[in-house]
Amino acid sequence: DSECNYYKVSTCVSEQRENIKKGDERRLNTSHPSSVFPLTPRCHPDVTINPSLSVTLAPRSYCSSTRTQKTTKEFRQEAYQYNNGDDGAMLVGLENIGNTCFMNSALQCLIHTPSVQSYFIRGEYKKRLLFKSPSCGEIAERFAYLVNVMNQQPLHKAVNMRQFRETIVKWVPQFSGYGQHDAHEFLRSLIDCLAEDLNGDSENNQQRDKIYEMKDDALSKLSPLQQGKYWWSRHFLLNSSYITKVFCGQMISTTECTVCRNRYHCFDPFYDLSLPIPSREDRCGIIGTALRRKKNSRVEANECTLEQCLRNFSKEEILDGENMRQCSRCKKRQRSTKRLLVNRFPSILVFHLKRFSNSRRKLNTEVAFPLKSLDVSSLYYHNEDCNSSATHLKKPILYDLYALCNHTGSLHSGHYTA
């Protein structure tokens, strides 16, 4: 019943060790528009892992535990123990080819996802390859080759991923050249390509022509839970890859007319959640002005927690003026509210911190986050819906952090590590 909270090696092992030795006392600062947090749930279904790995995922009942906010020194001390192979993990780096740190760090996070790693090492992906996909299955095959090469390398060695990069550039030309790119954008592109390449389920392929289309009138009579199940079954019938099973969740957008209280629900699949960082006013509130007068107020005003980012993501939005929606009951455009929540959580939850301001400047707000037992139940739609059945109400939904993709520097220069 091992906990799946472990860390990734840096794309540059020597740099990572040097950083660990420095023992910086600052809080962890995930300060780039593409700081990515892949999380794994505390109550995860059974997953078979490569026998060489000592970290396993086992079912956990919903439970509460003490959540700790780690400092950089504590984080690096634990990472140092991990980097010495105490867990017997795949501690292999990737060579930087030009400015490919964005690609290397995203790959390290994805490859060190235990269930994904096991899936490609065991060769299970071969049964699901779809040679009619846009890349003809080539990206999935090249990714599997890279995973197996890294698995066979000695500890603390580096692998040249030139062939993988050439395959990516061939099918996703936006990453051509040797300039810097956004790690989040690359990760999303890679996950999309892998999902397309591994969508060759023969059983689902035969059923795709038999998809039942429900009319809007019939859908409106269903409860939000039933509507969500309909749209999810439809999506999964068209996209049944292993990547979809692991990373894909379902978002629900609820729009409510402020006049007649009529609600409209829209469901969309997602592979990650882009979290806006709260403004200084949202973080400090009414007493923010008084806090900034204190000696350490500058630090307090430039910090927030991941929970605050989650609340900012799901806060209610007012649709007024040109943004007013057509109300089906009032038969005209009305002022309404809109809120985003999660209807179905994935096995692996990826967060992306949005660090672009309106002035195209980078937001350097430090975001503190728990390494274990992050409760995301505040995002769960059925915890907000008072009409839901008792089995859905107020269940804690806990995730453990297992990988982090971070950028240091500015929008114009810097370096990614994982």
**CB-based contact 175:168 (threshold 8 Å):** yes
Q: How many whole angstroms separate alpha carbon 23 and alpha carbon 236?
A: 46
Cβ-based burial of 298 (10 A; exposed 0-12, middle 13-18, buried ≥19):
exposed
Q: Which residue's structure tokens are 């009032």?
A: 330
Q: How many whole angstroms separate alpha carbon 221 and alpha carbon 206?
A: 30
Q: How many whole angstroms separate alpha carbon 251 and alpha carbon 341?
A: 6
* 415 is an active site residue: yes
Handedness of CA 294, 363, 97, 129 (dihedral sign): positive
Catalytic residue among 4, 12, 101, 248: 101
3-class secondary structure per residue, the chain: CCCCCCCCCCCCHHHHHHHHHHCCCCECCCCCCCEEEEEEECCCCCCCCCCCCCCCCCCCCCCCCCCCECEHHHHHHHHHHHHCCCCCCCCCEECCCCCCHHHHHHHHHHHCCHHHHHHHHCCHHHHHCCCCCCCCCHHHHHHHHHHHHHHHCCCCCEECCHHHHHHHHHHCHHHCCCCCCCHHHHHHHHHHHHHHHCCCCHHHHHHHHHCCCCCHHHHHCCCHHHHHHHHHHHHHHHCCCHHHHHHCEEEEEEEEECCCCCEEEEEEEECCEEEECCCHHHHHHHHHHHHCCCCCHHHHHCEEEHHHHHHHHCCCEEECHHHCEEECCCCEEECEEEEEEEEECCCCEEEEEECECCCCCECCCEEECECCCEECHHHEHHHHCCCCCHHHCCCCCEEEECCCEEEEECCCCEEEEC
* 382 is an active site residue: no
**CB-based contact 231:250 (threshold 8 Å):** yes
List of residues 6+ apart from 160 with CB closer than 8 A: 95, 97
What amino acid positions are annotated as catalytic residues? 101, 415
